[in-house]
Structure 1
Amino acid sequence: MKFYTQSFIYDDPWPIVSLAYFLRYPNPYASHIISCDVISRTQTPSGTLLTTRLILKRGALPRWAPRGIISRSESWVVEESEVDPMGKSVRCTTKNLEFTKVMQVEESVLLSQNDEGKTMQTSEARIRSRFGWGLTKRIETFGMNRFKTHVQRSRDGISLILGMLRQSRLQTLGGPAPYTPMYFAREEPQEPAPAHQERGSSGVGHQNTGPWRRVMGWLSKD
């Protein structure tokens, strides 16, 4: 079994980082995520919010892995989280539900506000293989290296969502919009709406503008 832990500080306050964390899918840094669905959400008597999400991921095996070690490239992962708005903390655990004999990955994340008003993220992982055949350590090492890459890309994805939330807030407040990320599709000039196009009650055609349009532009590439 292998263990891994890492901490990182976001300059943003806890509420916006927590929001970005739960909005992190989809993003260009998580192309391996196929779907993410909430299957339960309840509020406890103490005021915390418990959420369970089911995530479908796609992964690739290393070349040295025996053929047929797993039946398919997709696998289900369960994510359980607790948001404490009073204590300003988010605790989240994820673990794979399939192919656990080959490799079981259990990850825990804690988001908490520090004394400077910034947000500390602490990620821990426990990786275990029970496959045998002399491949246990090799599989666990592969899982550890892949998890380290995942942590960095996950952080990049959250940072991207944070930037979009800031931009959306500035646009709402009438402030200047920050830079446009190059990896999103650029907005093309709008053609005049045809006379038969559906319009709102104000008589102005609906236009999906702002940072979320660029997300949809990225999604439409698939």
Structure 2
Amino acid sequence: MHYFSQLFHYDHPWSHVVIGMWHKYPNPHCSHVVTIDVVDRSVDPQTGVIRTERILGCKQKAPIWIVKLFGGSEDAFVREISFVDPRTQNATISSVNLSLSQFATCYETIRYSPTNDGRTAFTQTAEIQSRMALWRGAADRLEGWLVQRFEQNAQLGKVGFTDVLRSMWESKEGHMHAC
């Protein structure tokens, strides 16, 4: 099992980041995410918590040894469930791969929470585990490749989301100040 985590601060208030998270894709830095389908969205009338379930369709260029060993294609799907709590100002996104999950799973959790200085803390963790206990050598190679790919996509996601937030809010804030 491999773990990944990162902490980052976006220079935008929590409300802007949460609105922006619905506009993260498509963006040129994360071109591997090609479709986003909302499966379900609801608001809890007691708490005001917004729950959204989405399926993300991705195109990933897998190494030849993975395709030969496991079959499959470049198409991959991820199930994502988010909870946005406007009262506590916390947003949590949990995701898991649906494709090739019989061979390996990637459980990811993202949290957005406000900081005291008006920015937003972004915490991302992932647990990547091969499910091929009988083939330890192949399992280690698969986990290694998945962690490397996850880290690359996480960095691209951070850069892409920063650009999305900048395009959504910084130009608008500049126009507001000019008026």
Tell whether the structures are fold-level matches, with TM greater than 0.5. Answer: yes
Ranked by relative contact order (alpha carbons within 8 Å, sequence separation 6 or more), the top structure is 2
TM-score w.r.t. the length of structure 2 is: 0.91
- Cα pair 1:108 1:124 within 8 Å, conserved: yes
Q: What residue in structure 2 maps to residue 104 of structure 1?
A: 105
Q: What residue in structure 2 maps to residue 73 of structure 1?
A: 74
- Cα pair 2:16 2:169 within 8 Å, conserved: no
Q: What residue in structure 2 maps to residue 83 of structure 1?
A: 84
- Cα pair 2:8 2:122 within 8 Å, conserved: yes
2-structure distance, mates of 1:154, 1:112? 18
Q: How many residues align?
A: 176
More helix by proportion, 1 or 2? 2
Q: Structure 1: 5+ residue runs without aligned partners?
A: 177-222
Q: Which amino acid aligns with 2:166?
A: G
Output one character per residue of 1:19-39: Cα deviation in whole Å (capped at 9) or x when no partner.
Answer: 112210000011111200111
SS state at 1:157 partner: helix
- Cα pair 1:6 1:123 within 8 Å, conserved: yes
More strand by proportion, 1 or 2? 2
Query: Identity, % of aligned pairs?
Result: 28
Q: What residue in structure 2 maps to residue 137 of structure 1?
A: 140
Distance change >3 Å, CA 18–CA 3, structure 1 → 2: same
Q: What residue in structure 2 maps to residue 3 of structure 1?
A: 3
Q: Which amino acid aligns with 1:106?
A: Y
Q: Does 1:148 align with 2:131?
A: no
TM-score w.r.t. the length of structure 1 is: 0.74
Q: CA RMSD in A?
A: 1.8
1-structure distance, mates of 2:101, 2:63? 17
- Cα pair 1:11 1:119 within 8 Å, conserved: yes
Q: Structure 2: 5+ residue runs without aligned partners?
A: none
2-structure distance, mates of 1:173, 1:129? 50
Q: What residue in structure 2 maps to residue 16 of structure 1?
A: 16
Q: Which amino acid aligns with 1:15?
A: S
